[in-house]
Structure 1
Amino acid sequence: MSKKKITVIGSINMDLVTITNLRPQVGETVLGTSFSAIPGGKGANQAVAAARLGAGVTLIGCVGADAFGQELRSHLMNEGVSFCEVKNETKKHTGIASITISDHDNSIIVVPGANEEVTPTGIEPFNETIAASDIILLQLEIPIHTIEYVIKIASLYNVPVIVNPAPFQPLSMDTLEKVTYITPNEHEEKMLNEIVNMKEKVVVTKGSKGVSIWDNDQTMNIASYKVDVVDTTGAGDAFNGALAVALAEESSLKDACRFATAVGALAVTKLGAQSGMPTREEVETFLGTYEKGQETLT
Structure 2
Amino acid sequence: MKKIAVIGSISKDFVVTTEQIPNQGETVVGKRFRTFFGGKGANQAIALSRAGVEVFMLGAVGDDALGTDLIHNLEYHHIDCEMVSTLKDVSSGSAHIQIMNGDNRIVIVPGANDLISISDVEAHYEKLKQMDMVVLQNEIPMETICAVIDFCVKNQIPVLYNPAPAKEIPESYIDKVSYLTPNEHEFNILFQNQELSEVLRKYPNKLIVTLGDRGAIFYDGKNEIMVSAREIASIVDTTGAGDTFNGFLAKGIMDGGSIKQSVQLGNVAAGLAIQTEGAQDGIPIYEKVKALL
Q: Per-residue deviation at 1:200? A: 3.7
Alpha-carbon contact 1:60-1:83 (below 8 Å) kept:
yes
Partners of 2:99 and 2:137 in 1: CA distance: 22
Match of 1:57 in 2: 55
Match of 2:164 in 1: 166
Where 2:124 maps in the other structure, the secondary structure is helix
Match of 1:212 in 2: 217
Partners of 2:16 and 2:210 in 1: CA distance: 26
Partners of 2:130 and 2:101 in 1: CA distance: 44
1:190-211 Cα deviation digits (max 9, x unpaired):
1112893335421111111111
Match of 2:7 in 1: 9
Alpha-carbon contact 1:131-1:153 (below 8 Å) kept:
no
Is 1:270 the counterpart of 2:276 in the alignment?
A: yes
User: What is the root-mean-square deviation in Å for CA atoms of aligned residues?
Assistant: 2.2
Cα distance change on mapping 1:23 and 1:286 into 2, 3 Å? farther
Given the alignment, which residue of 142, 145, 148 partners 1:147? Answer: 145
Q: Per-residue deviation at 1:106? A: 5.8
Cα distance change on mapping 1:85 and 1:105 into 2, 3 Å? farther
1:5-26 Cα deviation digits (max 9, x unpaired):
0110000001112335x58497
Cα distance change on mapping 1:101 and 1:130 into 2, 3 Å? farther
Cα distance change on mapping 1:99 and 1:178 into 2, 3 Å? same
Match of 1:203 in 2: 208
Match of 1:221 in 2: 226
Cα distance change on mapping 1:200 and 1:82 into 2, 3 Å? same
Letter in 2 for 1:125: A
Q: Per-residue deviation at 1:171? A: 1.2
Partners of 1:207 and 1:98 in 2: CA distance: 24
Where 1:6 maps in the other structure, the secondary structure is strand
Letter in 2 for 1:257: V
Match of 1:295 in 2: none
Letter in 2 for 1:172: P
Cα distance change on mapping 1:90 and 1:265 into 2, 3 Å? same
Match of 1:259 in 2: 265
Cα distance change on mapping 1:176 and 1:278 into 2, 3 Å? same
Match of 2:123 in 1: 125
Alpha-carbon contact 1:86-1:123 (below 8 Å) kept:
no
Where 1:62 maps in the other structure, the secondary structure is strand
Partners of 2:125 and 2:119 in 1: CA distance: 11
Q: Give the stretch that moved more between structures: 102-111 or 36-45.
A: 102-111
Q: Give the stretch that moved more between structures: 139-148 or 84-93.
A: 84-93
Where 2:276 maps in the other structure, the secondary structure is coil
Corresponding pairs, count: 284
Is 1:98 the counterpart of 2:96 in the alignment?
A: yes
1:232-290 Cα deviation digits (max 9, x unpaired):
11011101111111111111110000000011111111111111111112212333xxx
User: What runs of 5+ residues in structure 2 fail to find an aligned partner?
Assistant: none
Alpha-carbon contact 1:267-1:278 (below 8 Å) kept:
yes
Alpha-carbon contact 1:151-1:175 (below 8 Å) kept:
yes
Match of 2:67 in 1: 69
Q: Give the stretch that moved more between structures: 9-18 or 28-37.
A: 28-37
Where 2:250 maps in the other structure, the secondary structure is helix
Cα distance change on mapping 1:284 and 1:200 into 2, 3 Å? closer
Alpha-carbon contact 1:61-1:84 (below 8 Å) kept:
no
Given the alignment, which residue of 37, 40, 62 partners 1:39? Answer: 37
Cα distance change on mapping 1:200 and 1:280 into 2, 3 Å? closer
Q: Per-residue deviation at 1:89? A: 5.0
Q: Per-residue deviation at 1:44? A: 0.3
1:94-122 Cα deviation digits (max 9, x unpaired):
00012345666765432110002211111
Letter in 2 for 1:274: Q
Q: Give the stretch that moved more between structures: 105-114 or 45-54.
A: 105-114
TM-score by length of 1: 0.88
Where 1:137 maps in the other structure, the secondary structure is strand
User: What runs of 5+ residues in structure 1 fail to find an aligned partner?
Assistant: 288-298
Letter in 1 for 2:4: I
